[in-house]
Structure formats: structure tokens, C-alpha cells
């Protein structure tokens, strides 16, 4: 099969159903499978926590679009993240995490896994020396988000992979914000890619899910063992919705990027906006690295508003077409106040976000309507 991105997204793992020729992989709503005599499994299917054909189709498609040996689909992004930690780490091990990681990722380290003895240190991932200084003899993972949520920081995946490997650690990249259409971390040296497929991969704000894609077969097998042993798998309906979303990821991402670029232009020219955070801007600290490792710069835009926290909250409250809500990556535009919403769990920590920050997930609506709404919301 040809291997262009869109071709893989639409066809990998999705051969027409052998029984009926159905073009779309069916939703196998079954927990178990008839065995042809004890141990006589048909195509290896035994019990749906271990494997389900709808989930297999999604997992194969995800592996193909990220260029990995195996994909694994989970009930949520955080379930996927936790599975990495419990596969790779044990008590007293250490992980370097981004100093502006997604709040839920930070909470997983700070409030859940630390109680089980897993140590972590936040570091500014844009500064390789600072990351190197945070590494200890016990470091098992350097954990990367790029772009980061919500400050749109950029980390150099290839340079961090080299650093991680020189210290005997793995490089894990949360590729949720970029999506595999814009950035393929495994090709840059990462060992595991993690996704909240809830976001751009699913793309329609109708399903929560997560995924892991690994570069090396041995590690993929260990992750798969833990996926089954821990059990936080994607159900067949969720896998089917996510796979449907993945098919159109390429065309959606291009429109997300087009619209985000127009939104950035509007914000840059607006007198009440004090700073625009978007890796596509030449003045963004990570612009050169982003241009090297990303196809385009994505649909997420953050900005700071004159007048502090209340002014930022007011902008969020006045928006109409931009729906006030958490999450991101769907076809509809969303607006939120990270300090009080998605990143409230980082309040008082080194990962606290600025109070005057507004985050936009720029959707694929008619761009002029989006610009009109933002103009009125900014007042």
C-alpha cells in the first residue's frame, strides 16, 4: 500500500471486513469470542480487554500514522500515561517533566504516582542544559510536551532524545497538540508517543480516549502487557469513533492551522492583547525548532490580556461562537481560562499558569465568523 499520511489514516488496519466486505470496520460489541475447541482462538481473539477487532483497527492505524511498531488504545489520555509510568518505572525512579505540562499530567505525577515513590522534577524543556541538570542517576524518562499546554512552549525532540538516550532514559513525547499530521516524534528519536485522542485525533469532541505508540518491539510488548494487565482499554464504540475521526485528521489540521494563523493576526493587532503565544510567530522562542520538526504550527493559540485575571475571565465569558469549555482539538472553536479551568490543578505549584492567560482551540468554522466573535469578546 502507498504510505502517504492520509492514505494510512484512511486505510491502515482497515481492510474491508472479510465476512461481508463492509468498507468500515464494524463495531464489535462483544466481550468474548467462541473458541473452536479449548484454546482454538479465531485470529487470536479471546476476551475484549485483551483485544477487540475494532480496537485493533484503531491501534494499527495509529501505529501507521505515527510510524511506530505498535499502537495501543486506552480509555483516556491519562490512562495511557499511567500505563507508561507503571510499565517503565518503579519506586524511587525519577522522571523529568515539562515545567508547563498539562495540569492533569502534572497531577498524575504530583498527587498519584509520587505516593507510590515515583520522583519527578519539572524543567524548562526549551533549555537543554536545564533538562540535563535535572536528570539524576535514577531518571528513567524525559517526558516531553511540544507544543505545551497552555503556554505553547516548544522542545527540541531530536536533541532531547539524544540527551535521554545518553543517560539511559526513554524519551516520551505527548503529541496531543501537534497530532501525527504535524509532527512525528518517533522519527525524531522518541521512544513512545502518547496522545489524548480525545483531542485532534478524535476531532469531534464526542469521545474520550488515549493512545500509546512505541518505536521498539520489546517496549511495545511490555506496554501491551500492562495495557491488558491494568485494563484501561478503549471500548469498541469509542475506538470506532476515534478511528472515524482519524481518517480526516489531515484535512482538518490544515484548516485548523489556516484559521489559527488568521486569529493570530487579529490578536497581534489588538490593543488589549499584551502577548500572543503561537509557535508560528518568528519572535516565539521556539519558532526555529518548531519550523524544523513540525509541518505547520497547529490550531492552539494562547494570549494574555491587559487588565489581569478578571479581564481574561471577561473575554472568555463574552465569547459566543467560541464555546467556553475545557478540552481542545474538535471542529468547533473553544475558549477557556487555563488558570481557573484546565490548569486549576497546578495552582500554587511551579507549574501555575499566568492569571491573565486565555487559551483558544481554533476550530474549522468560517474564519470571518471566528474573527468577529473574538473582536466582540475582546471588547
Q: How many residues contact ligand PLP, by CB under 6 A?
A: 15
How far is 35 from 324, CA to CA, in rounded Å? 50
Do residues 57 and 13 make contact, with C-beta atoms less than 8 angstroms apart? yes
Nearest residue (CB) to ligand PLP, 78 versus 370:
78
Q: Is 76 in the site for ligand PLP (CB under 6 A)?
A: yes
Please enumerate in sequence order all residues whose Cβ is within 8 A of that of 148, keeping only pairs 6 or more positions apart, or say none.
98, 100, 101, 102, 125, 154, 155, 177
Binding to ligand PLP in span 330-359, by CB under 6 A: none
Ramachandran sector of residue 359 (left: φ over 0; alpha: ψ -120 to 50; beta: rest):
beta
The total number of residues shown for the chain amounts to 379
Q: Which of 48, 52, 196, 205 binds ligand PLP (CB under 6 A)?
A: 196
Residue of 174, 191, 238, 356 with catalytic role = 174
Cell of 366: 468560517
How far is 289 from 345, CA to CA, in rounded Å? 29
Annotation says 292 is catalytic:
no
Q: Is 370 in the site for ligand PLP (CB under 6 A)?
A: no
Do residues 70 and 217 make contact, with C-beta atoms less than 8 angstroms apart? yes
Annotation says 199 is catalytic:
yes
Do residues 145 and 118 make contact, with C-beta atoms less than 8 angstroms apart? no
Annotation says 296 is catalytic:
no
Annotation says 174 is catalytic:
yes
- Sign of the Cα pseudo-torsion (120, 82, 346, 291, in order): positive
Q: Which of 156, 174, 238, 261 binds ligand PLP (CB under 6 A)?
A: 174
Q: Is 198 in the site for ligand PLP (CB under 6 A)?
A: yes
Mask for 127-146, x = binds ligand PLP (CB under 6 A):
------------------x-
Nearest residue (CB) to ligand PLP, 108 versus 311:
108
Q: How far is the CB of 82 from ligand PLP (least distance, A)?
A: 10
Hey, which residues are catalytic here? Answer: 49, 102, 174, 199
Point out which residues bind ligand PLP (CB under 6 A). 76-78, 102, 104-105, 145, 149, 174, 176-177, 196, 198, 208, 210
Amino acid at each position: 500500500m502507498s504510505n502517504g499520511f492520509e492514505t494510512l489514516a484512511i486505510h491502515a488496519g482497515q481492510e474491508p471486513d472479510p465476512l461481508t466486505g463492509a468498507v468500515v470496520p464494524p463495531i464489535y460489541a462483544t466481550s468474548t469470542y467462541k473458541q473452536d475447541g479449548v484454546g482454538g482462538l479465531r485470529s487470536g481473539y479471546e476476551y475484549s480487554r485483551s483485544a477487540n477487532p475494532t480496537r485493533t483497527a484503531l491501534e494499527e492505524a495509529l501505529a501507521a500514522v505515527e510510524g511506530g511498531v505498535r499502537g495501543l488504545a486506552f480509555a483516556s489520555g491519562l490512562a495511557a500515561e499511567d500505563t507508561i509510568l507503571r510499565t517503565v518505572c518503579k519506586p524511587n525512579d525519577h522522571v523529568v517533566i515539562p515545567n508547563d505540562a498539562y495540569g492533569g499530567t502534572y497531577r498524575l505525577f504530583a498527587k498519584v504516582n509520587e505516593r507510590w515513590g515515583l520522583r519527578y522534577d519539572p524543567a524548562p524543556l526549551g533549555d537543554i542544559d536545564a533538562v540535563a541538570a535535572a536528570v539524576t542517576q535514577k531518571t528513567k524518562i524525559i517526558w516531553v510536551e511540544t507544543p505545551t499546554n497552555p503556554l505553547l512552549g516548544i522542545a527540541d525532540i531530536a536533541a532531547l532524545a539524544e540527551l535521554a538516550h545518553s543517560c539511559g532514559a526513554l524519551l516520551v513525547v505527548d503529541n496531543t497538540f501537534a497530532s501525527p499530521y504535524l509532527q512525528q516524534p518517533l522519527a525524531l528519536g522518541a521512544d513512545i508517543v502518547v496522545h489524548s485522542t480525545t483531542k485532534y485525533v478524535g476531532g469531534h469532541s464526542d469521545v474520550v480516549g488515549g493512545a500509546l505508540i512505541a518505536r521498539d518491539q520489546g517496549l511495545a510488548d511490555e506496554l501491551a502487557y500492562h495495557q491488558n494487565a491494568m485494563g484501561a482499554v478503549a471500548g469498541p464504540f469509542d475506538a470506532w469513533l476515534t478511528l472515524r475521526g482519524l481518517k480526516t485528521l489531515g484535512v482538518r489540521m490544515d484548516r485548523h492551522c489556516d484559521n489559527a494563523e488568521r486569529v493570530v493576526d487579529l490578536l497581534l493587532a489588538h490593543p488589549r492583547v499584551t502577548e500572543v503565544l503561537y509557535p508560528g510567530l518568528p519572535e516565539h522562542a521556539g519558532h526555529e525548532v518548531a519550523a524544523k520538526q513540525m509541518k505547520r504550527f497547529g490550531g492552539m493559540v494562547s494570549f494574555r490580556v491587559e487588565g489581569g485575571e478578571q479581564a481574561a475571565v471577561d473575554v472568555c465569558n463574552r465569547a459566543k461562537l467560541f464555546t467556553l469549555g475545557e478540552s481542545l482539538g474538535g471542529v468547533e472553536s473553544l475558549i477557556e481560562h487555563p488558570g481557573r479551568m484546565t490548569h486549576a490543578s497546578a495552582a500554587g505549584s511551579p507549574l501555575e499558569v499566568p492569571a491573565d492567560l486565555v487559551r483558544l482551540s481554533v476550530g474549522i468554522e468560517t474564519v470571518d465568523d471566528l474573527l468577529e466573535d473574538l473582536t466582540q469578546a475582546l471588547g
